[in-house]
Each structure stands twice: as structure tokens, then as C-alpha cells.
Amino acid sequence: MAFRATVLTLYPEMFPGPLGVSLSGKALAAGLWSLEARNIRDHGIGAHRAVDDTPAGGGAGMVLRADVLAAAIDAALSPGDPRPRLLMSPRGAPLMQARIRDLAAGDGALIVCGRFEGVDERVIEGRSLEEVSIGDYVLSGGELAAMVLLDACVRLLPGVMGAEASGEEESFEAGMLEYPHYTRPSVWEGRAIPDVLLSGHHGRIAAWRRAEAERITRARRPDLLAGNEG
């Protein structure tokens, strides 16, 4: 069964959006994965289909109601659905390539996109939602975060990257950032491609790339070398 993404959002018209073009869009059209964006508002309360209310205890903003969100989640899942249930949230575990790899190897995901101040805590507990963050900054909604997560998963699905590298040498895969790339012309604005890359000597090329990856990682992300990734 192909990777299935179900996204719960107040803005289903945002999807597939950028996921509908290039690599992920072609894979979507080819049926290598599927995407269903469901409107949380379909489960809203009353004639106005209200989905949010004021925060208990006071304060600014609005909170997505637990009953509304739970109804949207329950309607989106069939019994025994094995997929992880994710809530995009700045409070979540930082998203890492290792988690992306796990998700891409699975059946897909149900992804809840928050809006406003966030969601009622009880639905996180009651529906066992796993909070996932895409970084230490605050977005206005979970939709872009869900797209980031899905884009990163989809490019790893079998058949999506085709003849291109399997991704095994890429940034984060070996706990390091990637080495620099070059292509023609061999000299550009007085800058030459490093000789070793034109030498045809595969052993020396591999050694140079390893050394460059390590140098760049040490300079920019020493935390990765310390083994804190993932």
C-alpha cells in the first residue's frame, strides 16, 4: 500500500500547493503516494460551523475545540488505521531526518494542522497526537509545517527519486552535512572546480568529499558530530 497522507486543516485549498509540482507532484500523479486534505470546519458546531472558542483562564486569541477536532480525526480514520497521528506544533519534538526516514518507510500519516493559539490540550491526550515541530519559530498555522514534513517524506519513497542518488550521502544521513557540489563550466568567474574532482580517481574523490563534509559540519554544526542528531 502506498504512502497515504491525510491532512486535517481549516484551509484544505492550500493543498496540494507546492506538493503538487516537481518531484512530489509527479509522484502524486503517478500514485506513489496519496494526499487527502479534509476540512476541520465540516465538523464545526452550529449554523456557523464554529471550530474555536476563547481560552479558558483568559488571554488573547482563540483555541481549536477538542470536540470539533476529535470528530474530524475520528471521521478521517478507519478502524485499525496504523498510521501515526501527528500534530504540527512548535512545542513538538524537533523534526529530524531519522524521523522522516521512519515515516517514509511506513503507511503514511494523519497530520493535524493547528491555527490560532493552538488546540485544546485534551484532544492531544485523548487522540494520542504526537506533537512535531519543524523548528524554533512560530508559524501562523500548521499547513506549511505539514507540507515540509510531507515533502521530506515523499522524496524518500521508492521510485520517487528515480535514477538520482538514494539520498544515502545527503546531509544528516551520516550525522554530517553534505560536501560541496560543482558542475560545468570548469572555471567560472576565475573560480576553478577542485582538481581532485576532475582526476577520475574515485578513491581520492571519496576521501576529499568525506574530509569536506567533516570540515563543513565541524564549522557549522558541531552538535551533529557530537552525535546529538535525531
Query: Both ends of the chain: CA-CA distance in Å?
Result: 27
Instruction: Give the Å distances, CA to CA, from 109 to 73, 153, 170, 175.
Output: 12, 10, 24, 25
Q: Does 134 bind ligand SAH (CB under 6 A)?
A: yes
Q: Which of 35, 76, 104, 145 binds ligand SAH (CB under 6 A)?
A: 145
Q: Does 55 bind ligand SAH (CB under 6 A)?
A: no
Q: Does 52 bind ligand SAH (CB under 6 A)?
A: no
Q: Are strands 52-53 and 63-64 parallel, antiparallel or unpaired?
A: antiparallel
Q: Which of 20, 26, 49, 91 binds ligand SAH (CB under 6 A)?
A: 91
Q: Which of 141, 167, 170, 171 binds ligand SAH (CB under 6 A)?
A: 141
- Helix ranges, 40-96 (H): 66-76
Q: Does 66 bind ligand SAH (CB under 6 A)?
A: no
Distance between CA atoms of 173 and 51, rounded to whole angstroms? 40
Which residues 6+ apart lie within 8 Å of 196 measured at CB?
204, 205, 208
Q: Does 51 bind ligand SAH (CB under 6 A)?
A: no
Cell of 100: 522522516
Q: Which of 117, 130, 151, 178 binds ligand SAH (CB under 6 A)?
A: 117
Q: Does 106 bind ligand SAH (CB under 6 A)?
A: no
Instruction: Give least dist CB 198 to ligand SAH, A.
Output: 42
Q: Does 37 bind ligand SAH (CB under 6 A)?
A: no
* Piece of the chain touching ligand SAH by CB under 6 A; list 1-9, 25-33, 67-75, 128-136: 128-136
Q: Which is nearer to ligand SAH, 35 or 145 (CB)?
A: 145
Q: Listing from the earlier edge strand, what are the strands of the sheet with 85-94? A: 33-39, 3-9, 108-113, 85-94, 130-133
Number of residues that bind ligand SAH (CB under 6 A): 18
Closest Cα partner for 69 from 83, 56, 90, 88? Answer: 88
- Residue ranges in contact with ligand SAH by CB under 6 A: 88-91, 113-115, 117-118, 133-135, 137-139, 141-142, 145
